[in-house]
Copies of this chain bind each other. A is one copy, B any other.
Amino acid sequence: MTVTLADVAARAQVSPATVSRVLNGNYPVAASTRERVLRAVDELDYVLNGPASALAAATSDLVGILVNDIADPFFGIMAGAIQGEIGGPGGRAGGERLAVVCNTGGSPERELTYLTLLQRQRAAAVVLTGGAVEDAPHAAAVAAKLRKLAEAGTRVVLCGRPPAPDTRAIALTFDNRGGARALTDHLIGLGHRRLGYIAGPVERTTTRHRLEGHRAALAAAGIEEDPRWTVYGRYDRRSGHEATLELLRRDPSLTAIVAANDSVALGACAALRESGLRIPEDVSVAGFDDLPFSIDCVPSLTTVRLPLAEAGARAGRVAMGREEPPLGGVASIRGELMVRGSSGVPRGAQ
């Protein structure tokens, strides 16, 4: 039925062992023999049996990439960059590895199940992207899983995610706090004193860190925050739209709205416009991440650029052991404030 190593061996008149060695190229084989084998492989259209190979060699060429939302370019860009370095077909790496991205949908259980599935497949490496969920039991479960993966020889890298203590996982973390701080500092510098904040889901680290940075800026400027100024939502445009209307209802005198990310900011812009408010004359808007579309918004979005592709590439290289992990296993990656058209001097402050 299906062609096996033995068939190839028979055809090439060599032993299965030799065929295996030709295919893996990690053992001396005479050129003439090699050629004969390769010809047989070709003629028979032989395809290695991955599971069998993985079983015998006790390793696999699978690399898992976990993302929260595959439809969100934030993750797509990172995943693409990681995959580019993993090798995958065409990657600059030699060995062919199957980089697979797994969509957790932000659900802790799914995350855990995927990790188990990857563990089951004896994945060569795993990269977890995006913020973690701040639920103690879950965090512990994930940490335990990561520890176990590491023990089994799977390299674990966190990309854009806070370090996981007591784990051998390498962490490339985004400095969300610092970026948010710089962003709000900028707004305050323009003269804003009443700033609404549209946060992401409460339980996520990213949400908390960005909010903390925002609040640190307020505190530093001596602005007392009104609890009505913060609304929690999701990381999508719809959430930004709804939250903005809510914010406007609570305090129509807001002069700026800081969004959890660019998509949310986009929704916020739409809501403001529908409410008859001009950006930035009436209300300034700021996003986070600097996704490709941000520059094309009208007005273009003031935001914090996160080097997603670079971070992903680095994570990929580290996962493949092609780059030294940062000292201490943790690196903080800074964002860059991008001041654009959506932020301006508040009305009245001239």
Contacts and interface: CB of A to CB of B under 8 A. Distances in A.
Interface string A65-92: 0000111110111011001100011100
A31 interface: no
Contact of A100 (B45, B51, B71, B100): B100
B49 A120 contact: yes
> Which of A109, A266, A269 neighbours the largest number of chain B CB atoms within 10 Å of its CB?
A266
> Which of A49, A80, A117, A237 neighbours the largest number of chain B CB atoms within 10 Å of its CB?
A117
Given A48-B120, A120-B49, A88 B114 contact: yes
A293 B293 contact: yes
A83 B103 contact: yes
Interface stretch (A177-185, A294-302, A332-340): A294-302
Nearest to A118: B98
Nearest to A51: B54
A160 to B, nearest CB: 15
Interface string A111-144: 0111011111110000000000000000000000
A102 interface: yes
A75 B79 CA distance: 13
Contact of A89 (B114, B152, B270, B273): B114
Given A76-B71, A237-B296, A117 B103 contact: no
A104 B90 CA distance: 9
Contacts of A114: 88-89, 98
Contacts of A110: 88-90
A55 interface: yes
A101 interface: yes
Given A49-B55, A70-B83, A71-B76, A107 B121 contact: no
**Interface of A, helix, strand, loop or mixed by DSSP:** helix
Interface in A292-332: 292-293, 295-298
A29 B105 CA distance: 35
Contacts of A109: 89-90
B47 A119 contact: yes
A325 B316 CA distance: 38
Contacts of A220: none
A272 B233 CA distance: 34
Given A49-B120, A51-B122, A79 B90 contact: no
A107 B90 contact: yes
Contacts of A148: 45
A94 interface: no
Nearest to A279: B298
A276 interface: no
Nearest to A262: B293
A50 B120 CA distance: 5
Given A51-B52, A98-B102, 5 more contacts: A71-B73, A79-B103, A100-B101, A100-B102, A273-B298
17 contacts: A50-B117, A51-B53, A51-B60, A70-B76, A71-B79, A73-B73, A89-B109, A89-B114, A90-B107, A90-B113, A98-B114, A98-B118, A100-B102, A236-B292, A237-B292, A266-B296, A270-B296
The 7 A-B pairs with the shortest beta carbon distances in the complex, nearest first, are: A89-B113, A100-B100, A51-B54, A298-B298, A71-B76, A50-B120, A51-B51
